[in-house]
Structure 1
Amino acid sequence: MTHANGPTDQPALTVTSHDTQPHARVLSVTGDIDLHQLGPLEHALAEALRKSPPLRLLVLDLTAVGFCDSSGLNVLLKARQETEAHDIELRLVSPGVVIRRLLQVTGTAALFSLYDDLAQALA
């Protein structure tokens, strides 16, 4: 399933969802995560939390994300809070330099499990 949204002057944010195991889902995010393009990511995260049977692992593959602003960080923090409340492990894959810097500057890097590639995150 793919969700897309965004103004025409920048690439649309898309989120592709696929289950890798009965209790694991990968959300592959492509584009920029900013205030104007949060909808697809928020929708995909909400849908993942409603999954039946319930998830045990949710992986956000950020390999193709070029930019993330503070509103995107807030979505990631909310996802962490909600997954924790539902006893779901949240893992971030390949957060680029911009996202890593955002996590470091805000002191939130330690809140997330970061992985270099999808295979590691699913192991």
Structure 2
Amino acid sequence: MTVGADALIIEVHGALDFHYASLLNREVDAALLGPPPATMIIDLSAAGHCDSSGLAALVHALRRCRAASTHLVLTGLQADLERWLAITGLARVFDRRPHMADALPPQAG
């Protein structure tokens, strides 16, 4: 987990499956315990396979961020995960950006 002035970044490495989904849920929950960041970015560029548990973890993150008035952005999605989001109808509810640079909030100044 990386914390910046305006954004918190969670990087997913490996499969986003039953084993990793609960870890992602805990990271999201811990990140929102204190003052919530304006933006949370989940970087999936190093993620592998995603199963239904992984999709559920992403929905959990979206719900928690909405409740905290935090903007959630998914970045670096692989083709398989993009396809799962499209099939399930979740593509229309997630803010998805191809690269981390596209997901970072604009710098003030």
Match of residue 105 from structure 1: 87
Bigger strand fraction: 1
Q: Would you tell me which structure has more helix in proportion to its own residues? A: 2
| Contact 2:12-2:42 at 8 Å conserved across structures | yes
Q: What code does the residue aligned with 1:58 have?
A: M
When normalised by structure 2's length, the TM-score is 0.90
- Summarize the alignment of residues 30-109 of structure 1 with structure 2, pairs less than 5 Å apart: 30-51=13-34, 53-109=35-91
Identity among equivalent pairs (%): 32
Where do 5+ consecutive residues of structure 1 fail to align?
A: 1-16
**Aligned ranges for residues 1-12 of structure 1 at < 5 Å?**
none
Q: Which runs of 5 or more residues in structure 2 are unaligned?
A: none
**Structure 1 residue 58: Cα displacement:** 0.2
1:114 equivalent in alignment to 2:96? yes
Give the letter for the 2:82 counterpart. R
- The question of whether the paired residues in 1 share the 8 Å contact of 2:76 and 2:97 is answered with yes
CA offset digits 1:36-81 (Å, max 9, x no partner): 2223211111111113x32111000000001111111011111111
The amino acid across from 2:102 in the alignment is Q
8, 11, 14: which is aligned to 1:25?
Answer: 8
The CA distance in 1 between the partners of 2:60 and 2:23, in whole Å, is: 15
- After superposition, the CA RMSD in angstroms is 1.1
Q: Structure 1 length normalisation: TM-score?
A: 0.80
